Structure 1
């Protein structure tokens, strides 16, 4: 009978697949729980970092499995390949995030007006955690923003503030942002939409059968003297604060939009900040760029310098 040597089995390859599955499940479950609001961001970061350490160990075990397969023909090639793929599923996104951590400035508060940023209407709730955090409004942080995001500036539009405000609210509604507080908004949008009284009168008219009803007859009222009444000046300043979350990871962000009317133009400033950590990985700058780009499309043709 021909001699058939029995191939040894690579323990490292087997453990690379087992630990790889555990690391991927740990990272996915942590991200999913954070996305639905059941796990705070610092705890999610801790779980992902633990999964990253396991993934690095899994990659080392997979390399050992490939080495044993090549030199002594040990079984475990499929297990080593599976472990390597699962390790890279974690290490590649974490590596991209680490590159942004190194290349981008360590700031978490971005504003289009560095000298006079808009003030929060409601101070964001910052919970203490193991992740360090500094004051994002200090001069050093603003200087880092100027160096890294010099293109992040406000917008001037050749239009009235009420029109620009409606466009801002439309874009924010499309992005599913939640309004937290505002100043000067009610006075600007008052009269732009039908009031409840108008709706009630339209509903009553729709229920009428066409016959005269003495009880519903309008009572005559004295006509006001419009010429002697002074019109209230239209507000030239408005601030709206929103709460947003990133699309994939659900990272909470606070957004502030300030509108200032100057003669026949309206200037729009923005401020965006994250609540955890001292590094935003550039997501606040991306949020401001995306919003202003969509606002330009909404107000197409009246954007100025």
Structure 2
């Protein structure tokens, strides 16, 4: 009768798979609940950090399972592999975020104008939490930004401010940013779009058969004396404030855009800030860089340094 050794079961491998599922579900549920607004960002980060701590323990258990499989042939290879994969699904993104936390400066407020950043029209709502937060407008923080994000600078365009404003609003609308407040925008966009009321009045003067109806025709108005009336000067600046969230993680951002007309050019400055914590992990710089790149494409041919 052939001898068939009984292979022992690896308890470490079994627990690595169980705890791996728990850690992965904890991280995913934290992200989902935060994305739909049921969990605040600091609490979601705390849950993800707890999941990462469990994932480190799961990775150790899976290594023990592989060791026992190699030396004594214990069952649990599939369980160890499953636990290792689930642990890495958590630890790799957390490790990338940790590397950016260490390598990038600890700032949460970025501006293209370090010396004179644009002021918020409406102060962002900041809720106190366990995550520390410092003053983003501190000159020391601005110096850190100058060293880490030297390429984040404003844009000068060879064009009138109203033309640049329309492009800025179009790019912001494409990105689905939510307008919060603005200054000087109404006076600049007034007259750029066709008068809907006048178009409706002209349409009403036409009968259903396509012929003009004399009874509904608009009455002629006297020609305004524009030669003797002074023209109101257009504002030489505009401020637009938006708020948005990142696509996957749902991190809230506040964005401010300042347009300044200088002779025949328009200068565009931006400011972006996260609401939670003291470190944006480079997110604000990426938002500004992407927006200015899209604005350069829309205003192709009139961008300057």
Structure 2 partner of 1:47:
47
Q: Structure 2 CA distance, aligned partners of 1:247 and 1:206?
A: 48
Match of 1:15 in 2: 15
- The answer for the alignment partner of 1:100 in structure 2 is 100
In structure 2, do the counterparts of structure 1 residues 244 and 212 end up closer, same or farther at CA, with 3 Å as the change threshold? closer
SS at the partner of 1:254?
strand
Pair 32,160 (structure 1): closer, same or farther in 2 beyond 3 Å:
same
| Closer/same/farther in 2, CA of residues 2 and 170 from structure 1, 3 Å limit | same
Contact 2:206–2:212 (CA under 8 A) maintained in structure 1:
no
Q: Following the alignment from structure 1 to structure 2, what is the Cα–Cα distance between the partners of residues 298 and 206?
A: 39
Question: Which consecutive segments of 4 or more residues in structure 1 shift more than 4 A?
Answer: 205-208
Equivalent residue for 1:84? 84
In structure 2, relative to structure 1, the CA distance for the partners of 1:82 and 1:212 (3 Å cut) is closer
Distance in 2 of aligned mates of 1:108 and 1:51: 25
> What root-mean-square deviation, in Å, do the aligned CA atoms of Structure 1 and Structure 2 show?
1.2
2:254 maps to 254
In the aligned structure 1, how far is the partner of 2:201 from the partner of 2:219?
14
* Offset of residue 212 of structure 1: 5.1
- Bigger drift between 12-21 and 200-209 goes to 200-209
**Counterpart mapping for 1:182-221 below 5 A:** 182-205=182-205, 208-211=208-211, 213-221=213-221
SS at match of 1:272: strand
SS in 2 for 1:226: coil
The 8 Å contact of residues 171 and 291 in structure 2, kept in 1 or not, is answered as yes
Provide closer, same or farther for how the CA distance between residues 207 and 193 of structure 1 changes in structure 2, counting only shifts above 3 A: farther
How big is the shift at 1:217?
Answer: 3.2
How far is the alpha carbon of 1:203 from its aligned partner? 3.6
Residue 179 in 1 paired to residue 155 in 2?
no
Q: What CA deviation, in whole Å up to 9, does each residue of 1:229-259 have, x standing for no partner?
A: 1111111100000001112111010000000
- 1:202 Cα deviation from its structure 2 partner: 4.3
Greater Cα offset, 184-193 or 279-288 = 184-193
Q: Deviations over 1:131-186 (max 9, x none)?
A: 11011001111110011111110000000000000110111111111111000111
**Are the structure 2 counterparts of residues 130 and 155 from structure 1 closer, same or farther at C-alpha, using a change threshold of 3 Å?**
same
Q: What is residue 238 of structure 2 aligned with on the other side?
A: 238
